[in-house]
Amino acid sequence: MTLALGCIADDYTGASDLANTLTRAGLRTVQTIGVPADDLKLPEVDAVVVSLKSRSIEASLAVSRSRAAETWLRGRGASHVLFKICSTFDSTDAGNIGPVMDALRADCGEAVVLVTPAFPETGRTVYQGNLFVGAVPLNESPLKDHPLNPMHDSNLVRVLARQSKTQVGLVDLATLTRGAEAVRSLLAEFSGKGIGAAIIDAVFDRDLETIGLVAAEHRLSVGASGIGLGLARALVSTGKVKSAAAGSGQGAAVGGQVACLAGSCSQATLQQIANAERVMPVLHLDTERILTGANEAQRALDWAGPRLAQGPVLIASSATPADVAALQARHGRDAAGHAIEQTMADIAENLVKSGVRRLIVAGGETSGAVVDRLKIPGFLVGAEIAAGVPVLRAVAGEMLLALKSGNFGGPEFFSDAMRLMR
């Protein structure tokens, strides 16, 4: 297997989003969970997305895991590696975007790395180096209040400069609209000045194609699924990859019981849970009891058992931002997050043991904990449920999953997912 594109994603739902984007653009794509074992049998593909749970861990661990993933991808022929991050640039001044970028850049000898979280199709644009969510800057949007990585500065040149050892430049929209040669010229100028990374504006879908053409000529890029789309289109348009039909990973129906787990506290997920209550039983976990040692996982399993025989169920640990902040104040941010994630993983593990074969998970950290617990090595990419959320078929065993970033999906996401997961 010789890869046309290698990707390292800093969380599992973001990896699914990217794998879905690459598949829609014509690349045969597999998503792996962690760096694959040598004996994992993968089909012949154009791209591999290595999923890590590295967004919110200690920076040195994120760096070491990302470097191991890059080594594996380069060893399979990937001349370009995309470090896939969140479209809201989720990070802190300690990282982990900057430290990982610096390490991968040093390893591959890249002079200047193009960086953008823009994906206009999903409402994420970058102008004059500032990240916008819809019509408002990130720091004025509801997405600024992520419980682990709050983002209160929309100027990405400043944000990245605070966490990277290299100087950070800006390729503005005026340069980008002059075409690929203008971008190449500015990057060469940056390289001569010792600037090692450049935030690049992107406002329209067509901007991604120019970015992709230039980025593909380098060994490393950093960004969300938008730059992945640009890279995929560049690989197809230049003849390096022959476009494949999307949805080739759908396969035969799996059947079996269906369960939904929600751990995201985003406004989108909270609304999706509220809408789901009209069509299926929903249990809201008591997160305070989780933090004080009560066995909420067993209560949830006892509740779900008889109901699963009748149809799908949803179990949620999600709460409003105010409730999350209060819980973190009482118990500590990391302790609260870890305890809730492990409780959701306990629930998922036992649901699968009891016969659940179709599992829908909302929330990046929750998805990471669940997939790790289930020890699924990788996925084939199937039909698209919502923008950035595909049906995933486990490469080993008969099981379908959907892993949704908190802000993704329409109001009826859980029902939409169940219709496609057969």
Q: Do residues 133 and 88 make contact, with C-beta atoms less than 8 angstroms apart?
A: yes
Structure tokens at 334: 């990391």
Distance CA(263)–CA(415), nearest Å, equals: 17
Q: Please say whether the beta carbons of 170 and 157 come within 8 A.
A: yes
Length of the chain: 422
Long-range contacts of 394-401 (CB under 8 A, 24+ apart): 395/30, 395/40, 395/41, 395/42, 398/254, 398/357, 399/254, 399/352, 399/357, 399/358, 399/359, 400/254, 400/357, 400/358, 400/359, 401/358, 401/359, 401/360, 401/361, 401/371, 401/376
State CA 60 to chain mean position distance: 20
pLDDT for 85 equals 97
Determine the Cα angle at 165 with ends 161 and 171, to 5°.
45
Given the structure tokens 């109001």, which residue do they identify? 411
At 358, is the secondary structure helix, strand, or coil? strand
Backbone angles phi, psi at 103, to 5 degrees: -65, -45
pLDDT at 150: 76
- DSSP type of residue 212: H
Residue 215 sits at the vertex; the CA angle it makes with 188 and 389, to the nearest 5 degrees, is 150
Identify the H or E element spanning 379: strand 378-386
Residue 314: beta bridge partners?
260, 282
- CA distances 372 to 271, 342, 368, Å, are 27, 10, 6
Supply the pLDDT for residue 346.
98
Q: Give the pLDDT of the chain (422 residues) as one tens digit per residue.
A: 799 999 999 999 999 999 999 999 999 999 999 999 988 888 899 999 999 999 989 999 999 999 999 999 999 999 999 999 999 999 989 999 999 999 999 999 999 999 999 999 889 999 999 999 999 999 998 777 776 677 889 999 999 999 999 999 999 999 999 999 999 999 999 999 999 999 999 999 999 999 999 999 999 999 999 999 999 999 999 999 999 875 555 678 899 999 999 999 999 999 999 999 999 999 999 999 999 988 999 999 999 999 999 999 999 999 998 899 999 999 998 899 999 999 999 999 999 999 999 999 999 889 999 999 999 999 999 999 998 899 999 987 789 999 999 989 999 999 999 999 99
Of 87, 77, 50, 85, nearest to 65 (Cα)? 50
Cis peptide before 20 (omega within 30 of 0): no
Query: pTM (2 decimals)?
Result: 0.88
